[in-house]
Amino acid sequence: MNFKKITSLTMFFVMLVMTYTGIVLFIAPPGRIAHWSNWEIFGLTKDEYANIHSTFMALFIFMTLFHIFYNFKPITSYMKNKAREFVFFTKDMIVALVLTLVFLLGTLFNLSPFSNFLNLGDGVKNSWEKEYGTAPYSHAELSSLKMFSRRLGYDLQKSEEILKQNNLKYKTSQSLTQIADSNGVSPQFIYQLLKKNFQKEGSATIELTGLGRKTVQEVANTLKISTEQFINQLKSLGIEAKADEKFRSVTEKYDLSPMDVMIKLGYKK
């Protein structure tokens, strides 16, 4: 066996896997949506993609060390001038460093086109909410059936009756995730089942989780009002905002959280 070839081929396959998992994680919904809806691609959850990406990153680092070892002479030759003298800051090295710094600083300071690329990813991530919806409160899937019913003002006994009528196995002490897993459904499915039976006609609820990641326009869409109307509501609180600004960025200018603002506007947690 040729370990040098094994190292190069392993790095090639690792690169393919990490490219794929990186793309999936770039477009995957936020955890609050992924966990709530049992989101999957090709039978794998977001957490499983993240785990694969992490372990392959470790393998990539390990193989990179071997790659440097086997190719130390060629690598050091890149740092020599025409007279074969060692010069760290060769033209090629400077270009490589500048390119790396451009990507690093462009990302950290949210400069275009890096910000556009990241905003594209955020847009795709948030678009999943239209299809899957969000939990009525943060990490609702971790609440027991008893706690979940109490938080939403649902009668526990009636909640149990609804689950029984739909042939769902449960214990009131189990979390929604545990109940969902044991019945092959998602926490969202259980919520929608209960919501359909408890929600009175004309009393539709609005999910207020994850608003900080959205733009002002996207928050307005979630509230089912026009962007102009929402901006005017914010103005009534002395908050200036633009449609394309991130809601969290807007509220933090006034030392407030997104939920603080929503409560001031009359919405409940």
Strands (E), the chain: 40-41, 44-45
How would residue 64 be classed by pLDDT, with cut points 50, 70 and 90? very high
Mean pLDDT of 165-173: 93
Helix or strand or coil: residue 137?
coil
pLDDT single digits (tens) 106-134: 999 989 999 999 989 988 888 887 778 78
pLDDT at res. 259? 83
pLDDT at 205 over 70: no
Whole-number pLDDT of residue 268: 65
DSSP string over 191-214: HHHHHHHHPPTT------TTGGGS
- Identity of the residue numbered 253: K
Q: Which of 79, 75, 52 is nearest to 64 (CA)?
A: 75
- 231-243 confidence digits (pLDDT tens): 988 988 899 999 9
Which is more confident, 88 or 35?
Answer: 35
Q: Which residues contact 253 (CB under 8 A, 6 or more apart)?
A: 239
Output phi, psi for 63, to 5 deg. -70, -30
- The per-type count for the chain, helices as H runs and strands as E runs, is 14, 2
Asked if residue 200 has pLDDT above 60, the reply is: no
User: What is the rounded average pLDDT of the residues 204-209?
Assistant: 59
pLDDT at 83: 64
Tokens 């392959």: give the residue: 56
Q: What is the mean pLDDT of residues 197-205?
A: 58
Is residue 203 very low, low, confident or very high in pLDDT (cuts 50, 70, 90)?
very low
pLDDT of residue 185: 92
Which pLDDT belongs to residue 224? 79
Contact 247, 214 (CB under 8 A): yes
pLDDT at 91: 82
Inter-helix orientation angle 176-183/187-198, to 10°: 110
Of 103-107, 158-162, 229-233, minimum mean pLDDT range: 229-233
Higher pLDDT, 267 or 193: 193
Over range 87-103, report the average pLDDT: 87
Mean pLDDT of all residues in the chain?
88
**CA 172, 174, 176: angle at the middle one, nearest 5?**
100
What is the mean pLDDT of the segment spanning 60-85? 83
204 pLDDT above the threshold of 70: no
DSSP characters for 43-67?
TEEHHHHHHHHHHHHHHHHHHHHHH
Question: By C-alpha distance, which of 180, 176, 186 is closest to 131?
Answer: 186
Domain ranges of the chain: 3-131, 140-198, 211-264
Q: Which residue in the block uniquely carries the two structure tokens 């007279």?
A: 83
Supply φ then ψ for residue 7, to 5 degrees. -60, -50
Q: Which amino acid is at 12?
A: F
Structure tokens at 142: 């971790």
Average pLDDT over residues 251-266: 86
Give the angle 124-125-126 at the CA atoms, nearest 5°: 95
CA distance 42 to 248: 33
Which tokens hold the place of 242? 């633009």
The phi, psi pair for 183, rounded to 5°, reads -115, 5
The confidence band for 201, taking pLDDT boundaries of 50, 70 and 90, is very low
In the chain, the percentage of residues whose pLDDT exceeds 70 is 93
